A and B are shown apart, each in its own frame.
Chain A
Amino acid sequence: MSNVQLMKQVGAVLSISLRGIPKRLGACLVIVIGIAGAVAVFISVFAMSSSFTETASKSGRADRVIVLAEGATTEGASSHQRADVNEILASQAIKRDSDGKAIATADYLAFARLTDERTGVDTFATLRGTGAKALLLRPEIEIVQGRMFEAGVRELIVGRALQRRLNGLGLNDRVPLPEGDWTVVGVFESGADARESELLTDAETLLSAYQRNEFNSVTVMLDDASAFDAFRSSLQINPALSVQAKRERDYLLDASAPTTRLLELIAVVIGGIMALGAIIAAVNAMYSAISTRSMEIAILRAVGYDGAPVAISVLIEALLFALAGAALGAAIAWLFFNGNTISTQTAMGPGPMSYMLSINATVVLLGIGCGCTAGFIGGILPAMRATTAPVTAALRGT
């Protein structure tokens, strides 16, 4: 049989089959709804993973470098003495401002205890003590309300994403921290990156309040991205230092990787369970469809239709239902979850990171692909049944 003949037969069988859908609408809807549910869940959970990774790594710039203590994988696990900070800032590869001072900050991480606006439960927020050059180092930070904090005063500014999530972070609100309340004097945005989930304040004031004298990390801006190797070498050859330098983007990706992997695992496990359910539903529904169509299939086989076009048409039909279900699932996920802000605890700081769920084209295509695969797998056994069922028995059974 030529391919043209085969496709002609498939088209004819499929056309006959699709005309019968109104008579077996219930079974068809089982497939569509089953796949829709699985795809909606898969897309939503997978969007968590991809949106988290995107947000976590968004603020990474090629010309910004973070310096951690040797062996530390996150800022929280890193510690620099003041002397180390001075040695790092002395590197000639660091960009200088008009006054000749290094565009860099030495940061200290603490946490503030606040109340989640939605759940009413106490939670933590990352409180970052940073330096005077913070806005030069991070031009993406924009004060959208109020003003920048002042050094030596118990003031802080709050990221927009954090402010949306937690109570008590409005302008002039007071945040209870060691040695009294600190005043919110400004609100900033930074392109919905990880920093927007933090409180920022003056590092020296924060160290004093917490009676500490060590920083967690040093972040510097290079003259340009190509200066990274020179900067790293300058630190490596300095016998007084035991530190590691990472491009900021690499650091953010590395630090967020465990959470990303966990979210991906959840997506695969939950999506897999839902997909398994959808496959079983598709198998049952397609078996039911084959059973309902047994006379029709027997007639077609009797008048000369080969098993292959019948099987292919069953598979295509299962795929069409799966496609419809997957599209419906994607639409549900997009309608209910796209743009929602959620927060996840990460290894990047003491407080959770807020991020916006983005149901983008990649996630949708992946979900639809998985849904169609489930439908296809669900159609295989019924397709085989359709070609092997005895024709004579079906014809006389009518």
Chain B
Amino acid sequence: MSQMLQMRGVVKHYTRGNHRVEVLHGVDLEARPGEFIALMGPSGSGKSTLLNLIAGLDKPDRGEVVVAGSHLNTLTQRELSRWRARHVGFVFQFYNLLPTLSAELNVEVPLFLTRLSRAQRRQSVAASLSLVGLTQWAKHKPQELSGGQQQRVAIARAIVSDPTILVCDEPTGDLDRATADEILQLLRTISTKHGKTIVMVTHDPLAAGYATRQLHVDKGLLIRSEERAIA
């Protein structure tokens, strides 16, 4: 597959009260497999909407979204659920871990959607936690972990089912600089060494510096693209 992500003429409206507001005005975007893209822009520019469309959480009103070879416009909600389970890993700003589950159970949650046996699931969970450096924290609940550790658990959950693409919504927005750098380094490793395509929304130019391409969104349009080589 030459392109991991293709968006053509994507338009998206939201209804706020009695007003219909166009958030995206015909966005075109392409991403190659293994690319690490940072979506930047001011609040309300449409970057989170764009991320939701890429992740299959929402559908465009016009235009086409093709991710990992699937035309997301044509899928039903049930098909979209299955598609997300197979292809998408999520990392959120506030980690969004399930507070009643241990770290390893949080990571195992997406695997209940697969046909893996219990032993295979445990093996995948252990590998993911090892990759993010949290093996010894597997039995701990989220409230017993620091913010950085919680985000690592969230990343382990995002990659445990070997998705095609990772969507990250402000993954370092709630972390201090040093911890943020660790998380971003981890994401870059996942992109470069494991070949995962990553699309990350961020306000932080330093965070965006870890990406291979920076896309600037303003008023519902992609206004600039900057590509940079990984050091």
Contacts and interface: CB of A to CB of B under 8 A. Distances in A.
A205 B115 CA distance: 88
A301 B81 contact: yes
Given A9-B113, A392-B52, A396-B48, A303 B100 contact: no
A16 B81 contact: no
Interface stretch (B29-37, B61-69, B84-92, B192-200): B84-92
Contact of B81 (A11, A19, A20, A305): A305
Contacts of B55: 302
A72 interface: no
B98 A296 contact: yes
Given A392-B58, A395-B92, A396-B48, A304 B110 contact: yes
B100 A20 contact: yes
A9 B81 CA distance: 13
Given A19-B101, A396-B48, A303 B110 contact: yes
Given A9-B112, A12-B112, A304 B82 contact: yes
A115 B185 CA distance: 91
Contacts of B101: 16, 19
Interface string B50-85: 001001011000000000000000000110011111
Contacts of A11: 112
A5 interface: yes
A302 B157 CA distance: 12
Given A304-B85, A305-B113, A16 B98 contact: yes
Contact of A303 (B48, B85, B169): B85
Contacts of A302: 55, 57, 84, 90
A389 to B, nearest CB: 13
B137 interface: no
A9 B90 CA distance: 19
Nearest to A308: B78
B98 A304 contact: no
Interface in B210-228: none
Contacts of B88: 303-304
Q: Which of A23, A304, A306, A391 has the most CB of B within 10 A?
A: A304
B122 to A, nearest CB: 15
A8 interface: yes
Contacts of B96: 295, 298-299, 395, 398
Contacts of A396: 48, 169
B94 A299 contact: no
Say whether chain A's binding surface is mostly helix, strand, loop, or mixed: helix
Interface in A1-45: 1, 5, 8-9, 11-12, 16, 19-20, 23
B109 A12 contact: yes
Contacts of A304: 81-86, 88, 110, 113
A150 B173 CA distance: 100
A311 to B, nearest CB: 12
Given A304-B81, A395-B92, A398-B94, A19 B112 contact: no
A12 to B, nearest CB: 4
A388 to B, nearest CB: 10
A392 B92 CA distance: 11
A132 interface: no
A300 interface: yes
A8 B118 CA distance: 12
A391 B77 contact: no
Contacts of A296: 98
A19 B141 CA distance: 12
Interface in A35-57: none
A307 B77 contact: yes
A304 B55 CA distance: 11
Nearest to A301: B81
Contact of B84 (A12, A20, A303): A303
Contacts of A398: 92, 94, 96
Given A20-B100, A395-B92, A306 B78 contact: yes
Contacts of B99: 20, 23
Contacts of B109: 12, 16, 299-300, 303
A62 to B, nearest CB: 61
A298 B92 CA distance: 12
B25 to A, nearest CB: 19
Q: Which of A16, A20, A302, A303 has the most CB of B within 10 A?
A: A303
A9 B96 CA distance: 19
A9 B85 CA distance: 12
Contacts of B77: 307
A23 B109 CA distance: 20
B112 A8 contact: yes
Contacts of A298: 96
Interface of B: 48, 52, 55, 57-58, 77-78, 81-86, 88, 90, 92, 94, 96, 98-101, 109-110, 112-113, 115, 157, 169
17 contacts: A1-B78, A12-B109, A12-B112, A16-B98, A16-B100, A19-B100, A19-B101, A299-B96, A302-B55, A303-B90, A304-B82, A304-B85, A304-B110, A306-B82, A392-B57, A395-B96, A398-B94
**CB-CB nearest 10 A-B residue pairs:** A304-B85, A19-B100, A12-B112, A304-B84, A306-B81, A303-B110, A20-B100, A398-B94, A304-B113, A392-B52
Given A303-B109, A307-B81, A392-B52, 4 more contacts: A303-B88, A303-B113, A303-B157, A392-B58
